[in-house]
Structure 1
Amino acid sequence: MMDAGWAEKEQEDTGAKICRELMEKLDIKSYETVAEGLSGDRKFHVETSDGGHFLLRLSDEAEYEQKKAAFDRMRKADSIGIPMCRPVAFGSCDDGRCVYQLLTWCEGRNGEKLLPFLPEMKQYNIGIKAGEILRTIHTIPAPELEPWQKRYFSENDCRIKASSDCGIRIDGSDILLAFVENNRHLLNGRPQCLQHGDYHIGNLMISDAGEVSVIDWELLDFDNYADPWKEFGSIGLTDVHPHFVTGLIRGYFGGEPPLQFWKLLAYYLAVGAVIMVPWAYYLQKDELPYAVKHVKDVLRWFDNFRRDVPEWFCPERL
């Protein structure tokens, strides 16, 4: 049986072989492996003969349709001027066994690593820019779809039920489940639009000048057409930086959000916490402590849903 080290070496060798195959096709002069990120893609920082810098992503042929859908979403966002890793080329290689995407290289540092070291005012200003970008992404309309509440619950009802069935008991989980059940009506009649799908500080690159670019459009969720406010359900999946998130929300709304936003934010965060527990229990046991913590965090943020505005939102203008 091949050990992990040999498997990793074989994967690197295969990636390098494919890079060499694509060198002429994509005019690549040199390449180096990129180790960051959680996706299963093999990634390379490549330079073309004219000095251009790009990200090359390689995926298994079985992911062709999913990767093509993500590439097409990026093209839509790029067409309206979103600052992002711009899509350049897409296709098959390695005799059809591999899918490649060539994207422009985003300079800067990953926001998740940079943000904790920035002054609060800079965190807030980056949040404002990120919110304005997200609002622009959401101007891209959805195709004709079933009503949002029907799409949402057809996918999540079984997951919500699994939270009760898995047998994990957490202090306050009954409050969480009751809130989810009693507020289903909040989704009635909600609009739908294009989504990034995983919009949080870890998927933003920050330049030295404080400019923001959006990366990693890979996550497929509801075909990435959903209620625009659902996009904020990623809050808390990475560390919550109050000044950044406050700026994100104010930048998105161009000021203070309406009360209805807070109610829907609480709902999406509550459902996210509920369904994370059975996901961890059945599929990713090592993530169960984090899932339990997330349930407790959501309950604390909203004081067991006795408050509308979460505790991490900064009420004073900076």
Structure 2
Amino acid sequence: MLSTIFKRHHLSVITYEEITSGFSMTQKYLLTTHEKQYILKIYPLATFERIQQQRSFLSQHQKNHVHCQLPIFYDTLEQWCYTISEYLAGKSLDRLLPCLSQEKQYELGMQAGQELQKIHLLACPNLHFNWYQARLRKYQQKKEQCAKLGLNFHQKTAIETFIDKHFHLLKESAVCFQHDDFHPQNLLYDNQKIIVLDFDSFDWGDPWEEFFKLPKYTVSVSQAFANGQLMGYFEGNIPQNFWKKYHLFVALNCYASQIGGYQSGNLASVQLRTKKIIQTHYFSNQPPQWFQQKPTS
């Protein structure tokens, strides 16, 4: 199949190697030609319509000055579809950040927050989409699935009480484009700017839902970056009602995390991470323990 793709797009590939890093189950390959390198991503055929939509949305993001990349080619082949993009030789932030000063980590977090803010400029094209009801169904389904699998986590009863008491906050949510996987591993630093990668999980919903990824993936890489991301996104002025909603999204994700851990055979470490997150959050309108407005040296 790979050779057919190469010939179709006149790519004189010298070598190719599979990319196994990251959390995605998508097949990825690094292609090397005499002139350039490319990234080939292969998906099930059923996702082709979504791939086409994603390309359209990426084009709109670029018009909004988001630093992101459009695929050069996308097509179908037998029971698969695929995209080919130019390889970017920058540094992934999950590897770069620990090598930088706290001040530089914070600065890059500010840049990342500004990119996320621009991503959220794209409003949902379906004006009749009832996101509140969709999010409620999603929570109920995840909760039921956890119960069927016998999955528990730290302070589960208290978390459910908090969710039930505060879910109404989502009734007035704005609905916009969500990257839905925004964290250092999907951010590249290249030529003095941050480039946002991997929009494959895109969705529509409350823009602030993106921030539950901070304690889940980002804080363990760089607390200063996480702080900077928030401050950059909100231009230094976090709204008074942000933290309660943020805690609600952190609480809601606890269920999906357990299911993901169970399915990947990684439940024990996921439950430890969930416990740490819960222990460092107040589930109120106060910021979590990891948050500081300015980086510490």
Q: Fold conserved (TM > 0.5)?
A: yes
- In the other structure, the counterpart of 2:121 is 139
Is the deviation greater in 54-63 or in 164-173?
Answer: 164-173
**CA–CA distance in 1 between the matches of 2:79 and 2:129?**
35
Secondary structure, aligned partner of 1:176: helix
SS at match of 1:101: strand
> Which of 132, 138, 160 is equivalent to 1:155?
138
- Name the aligned partner's letter for residue 290 of structure 2: W
- The one-letter code matched in structure 2 to 1:21 is K
Q: 1:141, 1:194 within 8 Å by CA — same for their partners in 2?
A: yes
User: Is the 1:160–1:271 Cα contact (8 Å) retained in structure 2?
Assistant: no
Query: Does structure 1 residue 111 correspond to structure 2 residue 93?
Result: yes
Q: State the 1:165 CA deviation.
A: 4.7
1:226 paired residue among 178, 186, 205? 205
Call closer, same or farther: CA 1:287–1:248 in 2, change over 3 Å. same
Alpha-carbon shift at residue 56 of structure 1 (Å): 2.3
Residue of structure 1 aligned with 2:228, choices 240, 244, 247:
247
Aligned positions of 1:1-318 closer than 5 A: 14-15=1-2, 17-24=3-10, 27-28=11-12, 30-35=14-19, 36-46=21-31, 51-93=35-77, 96-143=78-125, 144-207=127-190, 209-220=191-202, 224-240=203-219, 241-281=222-262, 283-284=263-264, 286-303=265-282, 305=283, 308-316=286-294
* 3-state secondary structure, aligned to 2:216: coil
Q: Deviations over 1:239-283 (max 9, x none)?
A: 5121001000010010131121111111101110133224434x3
For structure 1, which runs of at least 5 residues remain unmatched after alignment? 1-13
The 1-side partners of 2:80 and 2:4 are apart by 8
State the 1:129 CA deviation.
0.4
Count of matched residue positions in the alignment of Structure 1 and Structure 2: 292
Structure 2: distance between partners of 1:278 and 1:47: 37
Whose radius of gyration is greater, 1 or 2? 1
**Take 1:253 and 1:287, find their aligned partners in 2: how far apart are those partners?**
34
RMSD: 2.4
Q: Structure 1 residues 307, 226: CA separation in 2 closer, same or farther (over 3 Å shift)? A: closer
- The runs of 5 or more residues in structure 2 that have no matched partner are none
- Greater displacement, 115-124 / 130-139: 115-124
2:198 partner amino acid: D
| Runs of at least 4 residues off by over 6 Å | none
Deviation at 1:217, TM superposition (A): 1.0
Quote the offset at 1:215 in angstroms.
0.7
Greater mean deviation of Cα atoms: 33-42 or 239-248: 33-42
Deviation at 1:104, TM superposition (A): 3.1
Structure 1 residue 159, shift from structure 2 partner: 0.9
1:56/1:103 contact within 8 Å kept: yes
